[in-house]
Structure 1
Amino acid sequence: MKKLISLKVNGKLYEVAVSPNQTLVDFLRNELDLIGTKKGCEVGDCGTCTVLMDGRPVNSCLVLAVQANGREIQTIEGLESPEGLHPIQKAFVDKGAIQCGFCTPGMILTAKSLLEKNPTPDRDEIRKAISGNLCRCTGYQKIVDAIEAASAEMSKRQ
């Protein structure tokens, strides 16, 4: 039996009926066609499915869609603005922190949450924040560089 939920995704309100066992990642990808949220390990180890729930990073493979009732969800698709790429997205491109791109949406959303709480993190704080997001391509150095560059750019804008 489906359950009616109400949630905001990328600023848009949805009222939908979902199966009680449907994960948030499956809901986002299959019902809303927001395929920027990736499915990786499906057990919460890799972080590729990271989205922001009420501003905090969560593994959407571990959250049931019904648990998102009344919550605000942000996916990578909700980050870009009419002005273009978000400074974190731009920094990832500029610093070469994107190779295969599979981990990128989760990394960027985790970085966004970090920079909202701590606008000027040091490299160790950045590494700790992204420790739940695995990357097999870049070796993390360029990702840390990108988050550091985004921090500097975002600080200039305020």
Structure 2
Amino acid sequence: MRNIFSAVDADFYIKAINQLTPETSAKWGKMSVDQMLAHCNVTYELVYEPQKHKKPGFLAKWMMKKFVKPKVTNELAYKQNLPTGPMFLIKDKKDFDFEKKRLIGFIQKTQQFGEAAFDGKESASFGKLNAQEWNNMMAKHLDHHLAQFGIL
């Protein structure tokens, strides 16, 4: 698994994202490339712009910690066409260049903050995560969607 906190791996993701164009089509799924970039940005918005999203209630958070967290923080790749959480659904057209620039910026910011900033950091949905869990969640999400669009 790549390390989102590593400058080498962050650069790998940035180079991969820079291969995308507004015309890049998906190998599977319903999202367009601009929607996929916006969808990937949600992961980082939850960290850096949490006010943009409603926090889950007690019961929802408990269920997320119990059933979803183990699947998103492990090292097993996501399968194709999995259901998407409501806050991650992007239904309208997005500005490709804007979303691409934001995603690259979020990746750079995360790498610059480094592992130490994420070790024990609270996730709105999953509670405290260690740096490895944050890495796994972010890296495999990028891997999944870059593969979806034929980049990986």
Pair in the same fold by TM > 0.5:
no
Of Structure 1 and Structure 2, the greater helix share is in 2
Q: TM-score range by the shorter chain?
A: under 0.3
Instruction: Considering Cα pairs closer than 8 Å and 6+ residues apart, tell me whether 1 or 2 has the greater RCO.
Output: 2
The TM-score, its normalising length taken from structure 2, stands at 0.26
Rg comparison, structure with higher value: 1
Per residue, is there more strand in 1 or in 2? 1
